[in-house]
Amino acid sequence: MHTDFTKQYINGSWVTGSSKKTIENTNPYNRESLGVIVSANQDDLDLAYQSANDYQKTWDAHSPGEKQYYLRRLYEVMQHNKDTIIHWLIQESGSSKLKAETEFNTASNIVFESASFPNRIHGSTAPSNTPGKENYTYRSAKGVIGMIGPWNFPFHLAMRSIAPAIATGNTVVVKPASDTPVTSGFLIAALFEEAGFPAGVLHVTAGRGSEIGDAFVTHPVPALLSFTGSTEVGTHIAELAAKHLKETALELGGNNAMVVLPDADVKKAAKAAVFGSYLHQGQICLALNRVIIHEDIYDEFVKEFTNVAKTIKSGNPEDEEVMVGPIINQEQVDNIHQLVQGTVDAGATLQTEFEINGNVIPPIVLSDVTNDMPAAKNEVFGPVSTLIKVSSEEEAIRTANDSPYGLSGSVFTQDRYHGMQVARQLNSGMVHVNDQSVNDEAHLPFGGEKQSGIGRFNGEWILEEFTTVQWVSVQAEDRPFPL
């Protein structure tokens, strides 16, 4: 497999970027250099898009069996290179071994599921009110998909768009995240290359947002832009796309809540909440930001949650016992510090030590929090959990819904059917009863409400995003016209 991840991947070739600017790829834990990439500029981007556009019809003309062959090869190549993929996730994104393994498995499931898509693109027939007319609908690829990669689950969240897009007959141009250019772009290109995909199917152009960011969206070639990341950036992408009448698939921020009802098993709920709050340092759009607990069990829950949180080891992600590794960069560290300090200043109680060791922040537990305090009101994207007391189920539901976000959520109760009833009242795209909020299955709809995004990923729902429908009618009998 190709291993020089300092070059762009355009039309099947590894080429040096044409920009005068560079991207320094660094390890977020020890800040050692992982390589220097000469950035792509708009000329490189244009070549990638034009190459993808030139080849798209040819790729789409491959039979379903041929597309499946390539995707199955990709799955096999991923399994063969598992150790390399996990190594890069640890080095580049600060993933713990647990998180990297989870990410690899989830990405593998996406590719496995995508291999079924070429045979699932169905059309239909329908009757007509016009005598002698036959109606047909055909579903086909949209064309070229532009995919902007994220840095938190870079390999999986990039593959979540790339594999289904290609399976449905599209070609793809990727702009990887600047903090994780390898795992959200170049490593995937190398895997596609080893799997034997034709040169025009996938292209990766890494460049600074100031140089190619807007152009990536406004370029005339892509029919749809797929983005996973912050609501702020997603809103900007949506605005640019709308001006050019381009479609978007956006999976954005979250401020996810777990509702703990008074009959819940406190130990089980606390353990689940800790996992959902601190996996990958809380740098997950699905992570629990708020835990909303009924007052009858609040004190007991705070004690249990804090005790479990204190058992989590933080530090070097290469240590297999570490669950909480480094924050991705200094800007994120500073933002987390500001939100935590602002919440403590507003009256919250700090149940743990508030330490910052380089880019590593051990788990932080804040109790006596209200929904309007900074760490509860905003998406923290760090190892911080806010514990909120409520006096009734109705108040818990109102508090959970009192957010501009609506991505994922959780309800804990010993009455599972009642838990489902509560889940249906949460204004969230996904809710998990007696589980935490971090769940993703390749065959089930993934996406949010409100400012958490537009559209749904995975399974039959991504088929809707990445294909278009054409109505073709055939007049089998002469139609009389009143002329």
Please report the DSSP string for 345-388 in residue order.
HTT-EE-S----BTTB---EEEEEE-TTSHHHHS---SSEEEEE
From the candidates 193, 211, 251, 393, give the one annotated as an active-site residue. 251
Q: At what angle do helices 154-167 and 97-114 cross, to 10 degrees?
A: 0
Q: Where are the beta strands (DSSP E) in 213-283?
A: 224-228, 247-251, 256-260
Query: CA nearest 409: which of 279, 256, 291?
Result: 256
DSSP 443-472: TS-B--EETTEES-BSHHHHHHHHEEEEEE
Query: What torsion do the CA atoms of 157, 328, 204, 318 make, to the nearest 10 degrees?
Result: -80
- Round to whole Å and give the CA distance between 294 and 379: 22
In 115-213, which ranges are continuous DSSP H helix? 154-167, 187-195
The verdict on whether 441 is a catalytic residue reads: no
Q: Which of 94, 121, 95, 122 is nearest to 106 (CA)?
A: 95
Distance (Å, whole) CA 74 – CA 64:
15
Contacts with 456 (C-beta within 8 Å, 6 or more apart), sequence order: 429, 445, 446, 447, 462, 464, 465
Helices (H), 132-178: 154-167
Helix (H, G, I), strand (E, B) or coil at 432: strand
Which positions are annotated as active-site residues?
251
